[in-house]
Amino acid sequence: MRRTFGALAPRPAPRLVSGLALGLAACLALTACGGSGGSAGGDTATGKASSAAPAENAEAATLTIWADQKRSETLKPFADAFAKENGVKADVVVVAQNQQQTFVTASQAGKGPDVLVGAHDWIGNLVQNGLIDPIQMTQDQLDGYVDVARKAVTYDGQVYGVPYAVENLALYRNTDLAPEAPKTFDELVATGAKLKAAGKVKEIVGYPISQQDGQSGDTYHMYPLYTSGGGHLFGTKPNGDPDPADLGVGTPESIAAFEKVAEFGEKGAGALKRSFTSDNSAALFADGKTAFMVSGPWRLADVRTAGVKYDVTPVPGFKGGDPARSFVGVQAFFVASKGKNKALAQEFVTNTLASAEVSQALFDAEPRMPALKSALAYASAKDPDVAKFEAAAENGVPLPAIPQMVAVWGPFNTLIHAVVKGENVGPAVKAAGKAIAEQLGQNG
C-alpha cells in the first residue's frame, strides 16, 4: 500500500523551483549511477585490495572492531590502549542488528572489520565462506578456558575464536511461591499446577515455546526437554564435531521424546503452551504470575529489578529420563580473514582480548559466565548466581556450529508447535525428520 502511494505521488509543478528539484534529482541519479558502477565492479575490487595495500601502509593502520552495543562500550578503552601502545588507530564500530549477515556481506565487499565479536555458532558458516582465520593458541592458553567454551570454538579440529563468555538455560524459581527446587520436570509441573489451582499463580511455568514471532517453535528452549526425553539432533563425529550424516530427528527416540513433551502440552497437562515467548514468560515471572521460568543469564537483570525472590537451578529433566541438556552458547572474538591488518588483529585478540582483565570487564558490564577460568573465579566470588548457571551448564552441549544447523531450525521449530498444540506426534516428528534430511541432502 505505502509503496504504491509513494510511486504515484504527483510530480512537483514545473516552475522556477523545479530547477532546483531537477538539479537534485540529477544529483541523486548521478550518485546512484556512481554507486551501481562501484558495486558492478565489486568482483574486481577485492582482487585489487591486496595490491593497493602497500600504498595504504604509509599512513597509520586502523584496527576495526565490530561488536554489539554493550561489548563496544566495554572494549573501547582496551582497544584505545592497544592502539596507543602500537602506534595505530582503533575503531570500535557498533553493529546492533543482523551481525553475522552484515559481516559476511561487508567482508565480501572488502569493507569488513579486522576483529569481530560474536557467537560461536556462526563459525561453521563463516568458515565455509572463508571469512575467519584459525587462532593458534598454545595448549597452556587453551587450558585456561572452561571445557565447554574450548569445545564450542573448536571446529573441524581448529580453534576459530577466543571465547569470553558462556551462556545457557537454567530454571528460575520464585522462592516465595516454591521454596523447594523441583527434582524433575513432572514435579515442577505438579507444583505449578497446585499453585495455579490455589489461585496463587496464573500459569504453571514460563517455558518459552514460541519464538518472538509467536508462529514458530523455539528449538533453543525446547532442547533440554527434548534431550531429557532421549532425543538428539546430530550424532557426534570422532573429532567432537556434530555429524550431519547422523540425524536424530525422526528416529524412535525422538518420537518418544516428543511424546513426553506432548504430555505436558496444550492437550495434556497444559503447562507448555504456544502462547509463551521468552518475553512474556519473563514478564509473568517478574509479576509473580508464575513460579517458574526457563531462561538464561540475560534475564538476571530483569528479575533482580522486579524484586522477586528467586533461585537458579538446572533445568530439570523428565521423571526417569535422561538429564536435560541445555544448549551452551559461547561468545567469542574472531579474526577476519579479509581484514586489512591481520597480524595486528591477531595480536589484539590473542593478547589483549584473551586477558583476564577484559573478561572481567565484560562480566561487570553484563553478568554472563566468563569463559576464562581465572575470570570465572573472579565472577563467582562477586556474584553467587554465576556458580548456579555454571552448575546448570554441567550437562550442557555447545550449540552446533556446523552450517547444516540452518536446515534444522525451520522444520524443528514447526514440529515443536505441532507437538505442543497436541497434534499426532509420530507423523509430525517423521515429517520434520524428512524435511531436514531432504534439505541436508540438497547440500550434497
Partner 1 sequence: MTITRNPARSDRAGAGAAHSRARTWPGSATGVAVRVLALGLIVGIALWAAAPLVSSGDWTGMAITAVATGIALWAYLTPRRLPAKYLLPTTFLLVAFQVFPVLYTMSLALTNTGDGHLGTKSEAITAIETSSVRREAGSAEFRLTVAEKDGALVFLLADPAKRAAYAGTEDGLREIGGASLGPGGRITAAEGYTVLTAAQASARSAEITALAVPVKGGAIRSQGLTRAYQGRAALAYKAGCDCVSGDGKIWRSDEEQGRFVAEDGSALPQGWKVGVGLSNLGAALTNPKINAHFAGVFVWNLFYAIAVVALTAALGLAAALVLHHPRMRGVRAYRTLIVLPYAMPAFAMLLVWRDMFNTDFGLINRMLGLHTDWLGTPFTARLSVLLVQLWLGFPYMFLVATGALQTIPREYMEAAEVDGASPWQRFRKVTLPLLLLALAPLLVSSFAFNFNNFNGIFLVTSGGPFPSDNPTVGATDLLITYTFRLAFGQQGAQYGLAAAMSIYVYLIVAVISIIGFRRTRAFKEVT
Which residues in the 296-335 window bind partner 1 by CB under 8 A? none
CB 115 within 8 A of CB 335: yes
Which residues in the 203-232 window bind partner 1 by CB under 8 A? 203, 213-216
Which residues in the 170-199 window bind partner 1 by CB under 8 A? none
AA identity, residue 287 = D
Per CB under 8 A, the list member of 295, 350, 360, 395 interacting with partner 1 is 350
AA identity, residue 398 = P
Helices marked H in 2-156 — which ranges? Answer: 2-7, 18-40, 42-56, 69-86, 99-108, 123-128, 139-143, 147-153
User: Per rule CB under 8 A, is residue 403 in the interface with partner 1?
Assistant: yes
The nearest distance, CB 219 to partner 1, in angstroms, is 12
Which residues in the 139-158 window bind partner 1 by CB under 8 A? 156-158
What would you measure as the largest C-alpha separation in the chain, in angstroms? 83
User: Per rule CB under 8 A, is residue 81 in the interface with partner 1?
Assistant: no
CB 217 within 8 A of CB 409: no
The nearest distance, CB 254 to partner 1, in angstroms, is 14
Contact partners, residue 283, CB within 8 Å, separation at least 6: none
Q: Is 355 helix (H, G, I), strand (E, B) or coil?
A: coil
The nearest distance, CB 2 to partner 1, in angstroms, is 6
User: Per rule CB under 8 A, is residue 355 in the interface with partner 1?
Assistant: no
User: Per rule CB under 8 A, is residue 104 in the interface with partner 1?
Assistant: yes
Nearest CA to 375 among 355, 392, 395?
A: 355
Angle between helices 405-421 and 219-228 (to 10 degrees): 70
The nearest distance, CB 62 to partner 1, in angstroms, is 10
Which residues in the 234-273 window bind partner 1 by CB under 8 A? 273
CB 165 within 8 A of CB 276: no
Helices marked H in 242-355 — which ranges? Answer: 252-263, 278-286, 300-306, 342-347
Which residues in the 40-69 window bind partner 1 by CB under 8 A? 40-41, 43-48, 50, 52-54, 57-58, 60-61
Binding-residue total with partner 1 (CB under 8 A) = 112
The nearest distance, CB 127 to partner 1, in angstroms, is 6
User: Per rule CB under 8 A, is residue 5 in the interface with partner 1?
Assistant: yes
CB atoms near residue 245 (< 10 Å): 9
4 or 97, CB closer to partner 1? Answer: 4
Q: Which stretch binds partner 1 (CB under 8 A): 69-77, 337-345, 380-388, 389-397?
A: 337-345
